[in-house]
């Protein structure tokens, strides 16, 4: 028994000794850097420089010191291998500057930048006898530490990079781009390799003086493009699903302003323009290179036959009227679409209400979609009332969860529709919109489910909360979703929600993609019927025109329950 106690005492003393050594190492002094090793200038001391490995042996409580041949500003990276070893960096006087390794692991990495108190020494110590291996992996002079050329994902750009390194020019590259068009779309030879369902899309700009930004882009932000060496090639590469559609602009040499964040951010609009190497843009009747955006459609993007006008199909009639609201105190245009052979007294037709009326008539082309779907018996005859905005300011005030706007819909617009026998059966009534309009449609489904039995949101701004903006992370987001959590379900509503995979928020805060997924889950938990779709797309009418027929079929399709 006494032997066991003696063993425990010995073990305890050993542990305490090791802990004392480690603590002592953490507060290492000038004496420790020089103890047992002679003066710092000892002529027999080993030298360390560059990519070098030294091996040695320690006896307990002794030290090995190596002179470091390096200049101020040099970057040093290395490792030390051995049990319970400490590595200390000492200055020219032998004073400890930094503990590089504390002896806590058998393999320890270290890195530091050489200061101006050299020449420096590296001191290896340990509490027990031990063999060690000290390896300097890198010693890079300050004047050689420039940023290295990035490894290019695009095989075409890697080939161009090699051409430039051999003294060639970019002329033939740009001739090729001019002939084939931009952006580059690549599958083979991409580094690192792509997933099977991905493609690499590389956007290009020629000859900016200072910088180029990609506006909208797959990231949904304003992305800095890179310059290929000192050439006239600026580029940005993105891995995207092979089903993607992308709308974008290129903005060279954006003015540098001293204003607020939003003033500086919006300065991109001063130079943002079409891609000069891409002949495809939206809308097709853009008035100049700054109007609309360039578009690229990958070969596997889903086809959308319902958006193309078919001259064989009977066409509905579109009427434009001015509507005065006493509740809102303003006037606005309404576009009323009546299907072919419309019978006001019939109860068999649907009613579709859409926000941002002008854009859905002109850019999304809802009347053509309805003509095609009705002619193919994919949906029943449908009346559409498309609501315009008096101004951009009124849109920002009215659409985001505004109780007055909800009253306008229920107390003014709906009676007006009813008086004209355009339809009011909630089970056949669908309200739809995009962005703030998608938010407003969902809010209408919350506040007046007795009127709207079907809600369609395209990229709804569900990040919204009172006094919030997309980048204001300090304000608790998703106000509407929280209302759905606590609101009683008086009437069942069928929600169809959609969002784009490119609608994440790289600057933090709530993204449209993330908040739409969250609302979907909340609505399902509350017992609502929910259908949901994600597309390899971003935020804008170019995308929404392709997905709008899908929403109509989901909610109004003749094969739906």
What is the crossing angle of helices 512-525 and 479-486, to 10°? 0
The edge-to-edge listing of strands for the beta sheet with 52-58 is 52-58, 130-140, 75-81, 107-113
Q: What is the DSSP letter of 430?
A: E
DSSP-derived letter for residue 557 is B
- Joined together, the tokens standing for residue 62 give 């002794």
Same domain, 291 and 356: no
Ordered strands of the 350-354 beta sheet: 317-325, 330-338, 382-387, 350-354, 429-434, 454-458, 494-500, 529-535
- Number of compact structural domains in the chain: 3
Q: Are residue 287 and residue 356 in the same domain, yes or no?
A: no
Statement to judge: residues 287 and 323 lie in one domain: no
Domain stop point among 297, 326, 349 = 297
Does the residue 312 lie in any domain? no
Contact, 441 vs 458, CB < 8 A? Answer: no
| C-alpha span between 431 and 353 (Å, rounded) | 5
- Domain stop point among 123, 142, 161: 142
- Residue tagged 């580094």 (tokens): 191
Residues 513-529 as b or e (16 or more Cβ within 10 Å = b):
bbbbbbbbebbeeeebe
| 219 shares its domain with 122 | no
Q: Confirm whether 53 is domain-assigned.
A: yes
CATH number at residue 536: 3.40.50.1820
* Residues shown for the chain: 561
The pLDDT, as a whole number, for residue 509 is 59
Neighbours of 121 (CB within 10 A): 23
Q: Which residues of the chain have pLDDT under 70?
A: 1-44, 145-150, 469-474, 506-509, 561
Do residue 369 and residue 469 come from a single domain? yes
Whole-number Cα distances in Å, 8 to 11, 15, 16: 5, 10, 12
Q: Are residues 91 and 235 in the same domain?
A: no
Last residue within a domain, chosen from 118, 142, 166: 142
Task: Write out pLDDT tens, residues 163-193.
Answer: 999 999 999 999 999 999 999 999 999 999 9
Q: Would you say residue 561 lies in a domain? A: no
DSSP-assigned beta bridge partners for residue 226: 235
Of the candidates 372, 352, 354, 375, which has an alpha carbon nearest to the alpha carbon of residue 363? Answer: 354
CA 180/CA 202 separation, integer angstroms: 13
Q: Which residues pair with 81 in a beta bridge?
A: 107, 133
Cβ pair 378, 558 in contact under 8 A: yes
Residue 489 and residue 450 share a domain: yes
Within 8 A by CB and 6+ apart from 308, the residues are: 368, 372
325 in the same domain as 456: yes
What is the DSSP secondary structure assignment for residue 170, as one 8-state letter?
S
Domain membership of residue 164 (yes or no) is no
* Residue 211 domain boundaries: 177-297
Instruction: For residues 65 and 319, give the distance between their C-alpha atoms in angstroms, rounded to a whole number.
Output: 91
Same domain, 513 and 447: yes
> Cα Rg for the chain, rounded, in angstroms?
34
Residue 304 lies in a domain: no
Residue 182 falls within a domain, yes or no? yes
Domain holding 281: CATH number? 2.60.40.10
Judge contact between 463 and 512, C-beta under 8 A: yes
pTM: 0.75
Handedness of CA 161, 166, 171, 175 (dihedral sign): negative
Residue 13 counted as domain residue: yes
- Neighbouring C-alpha atoms within 13 Å toward the C-beta of 180: 13
- Do 382 and 505 have their domain in common? yes
Decide if 171 is inside a domain.
Answer: no
CA 227 to chain centre: 22
How distant is the alpha carbon of residue 560 from its chain centre?
35
H or E stretch covering 212 = strand 212-215
What b/e string do you get for 68-82 counting C-beta neighbours within 10 Å, with b at 16 or more?
bebeeebbbebbbbb
Write out pLDDT tens, residues 200-235: 999 999 998 889 999 887 988 889 999 999 999 999
Strands 52-58, 130-140: pairing is antiparallel
Query: What pLDDT, on the 0 to 100 scale, is given for residue 502?
Result: 95
CATH of the domain at 107: 2.60.120.380
Question: Strands 330-338 and 382-387, how do they pair?
Answer: antiparallel
Q: Identify whether residues 288 and 323 lie together within a single domain.
A: no
What angle in degrees, to the nearest 10, is found between the helix axes of 155-165 and 171-180?
160
Nearest one of 318, 343, 344 to 333, comparing CA atoms: 318
Q: What angle do CA 328, 331, 337 make, to 5 degrees?
A: 110
Tell me, yes or no, whether 284 and 358 share the same domain: no
How far apart CA 224 and CA 209 sit, in angstroms, is 14
């Amino acid at each position: 028994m006494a032997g066991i106690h003696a063993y425990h005492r010995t073990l305890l003393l050993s542990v305490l000794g090791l802990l004392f050594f480690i603590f002592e190492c953490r507060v290492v002094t000038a004496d420790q850097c020089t103890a047992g090793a002679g003066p710092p200038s000892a002529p027999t001391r080993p030298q360390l420089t560059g990519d070098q490995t030294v091996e040695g042996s320690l006896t307990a409580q002794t030290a090995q010191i190596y002179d470091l041949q390096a200049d101020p500003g040099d970057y040093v990276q290395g490792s030390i291998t051995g049990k319970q070893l400490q590595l200390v960096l000492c200055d020219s006087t032998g004073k400890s500057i930094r503990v590089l390794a504390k002896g806590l692991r058998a393999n320890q990495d270290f890195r530091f930048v050489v200061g101006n108190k050299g020449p420096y020494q590296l001191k290896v110590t340990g509490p027990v006898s031990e063999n060690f291996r000290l390896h300097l992996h890198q010693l890079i002079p300050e004047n050689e530490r420039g940023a290295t050329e990035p490894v290019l994902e695009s095989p075409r750009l890697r080939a161009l990079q090699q051409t430039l390194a051999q003294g060639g020019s970019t002329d033939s590259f740009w001739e090729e781009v001019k002939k084939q068009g931009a952006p580059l779309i690549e599958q083979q030879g991409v580094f690192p390799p792509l997933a099977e369902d991905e493609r690499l899309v590389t956007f290009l700009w020629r000859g900016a003086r200072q910088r180029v930004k990609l506006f909208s882009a797959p990231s949904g932000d304003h992305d800095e493009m890179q310059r290929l060496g000192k050439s006239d090639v600026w580029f940005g590469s993105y891995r995207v699903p092979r089903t993607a559609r992308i709308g974008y602009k290129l903005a060279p040499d954006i003015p540098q302003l001293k204003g607020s964040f939003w003033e500086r951010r919006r300065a991109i609009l001063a130079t943002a323009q079409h891609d000069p190497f891409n002949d495809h843009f939206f809308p097709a009747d853009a008035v100049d290179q700054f109007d609309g955006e360039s578009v690229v459609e990958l070969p596997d993007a889903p086809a959308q036959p319902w958006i193309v006008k078919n001259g064989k199909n009977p066409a509905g009639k579109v009427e434009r009227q001015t509507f005065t609201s006493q509740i809102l105190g303003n006037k606005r245009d309404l576009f009323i679409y009546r299907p072919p052979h419309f019978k006001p007294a019939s109860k068999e037709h649907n009613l579709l209400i859409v926000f941002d009326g002008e854009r859905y008539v002109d850019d999304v082309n809802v009347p053509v979609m309805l003509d095609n779907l009705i002619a193919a018996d994919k949906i029943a005859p449908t009346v559409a009332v498309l609501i315009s905005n008096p101004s951009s300011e009124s849109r920002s005030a009215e659409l985001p969860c505004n109780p007055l706007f909800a009253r306008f819909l229920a107390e003014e617009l709906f009676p007006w529709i009813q008086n004209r026998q355009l339809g009011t059966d909630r089970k056949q009534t669908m309200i739809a919109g995009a962005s703030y309009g998608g938010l407003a449609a969902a809010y209408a489904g919350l506040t007046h489910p007795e009127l709207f039995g079907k809600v369609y949101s395209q990229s709804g701004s569900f990040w919204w909360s009172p006094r919030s903006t997309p980048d204001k992370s300090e304000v608790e987001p998703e106000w509407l979703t929280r209302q759905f959590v606590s609101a009683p379900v008086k009437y069942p509503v069928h929600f169809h929600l959609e969002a784009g995979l490119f609608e994440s928020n790289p600057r933090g805060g709530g993204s449209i993609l993330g908040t739409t997924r969250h609302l979907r889950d909340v609505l399902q938990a509350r017992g609502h019927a929910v259908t949901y779709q994600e597309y390899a797309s971003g935020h804008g009418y170019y995308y929404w025109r392709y997905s709008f027929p899908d929403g109509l079929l989901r909610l109004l399709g003749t094969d739906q329950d």
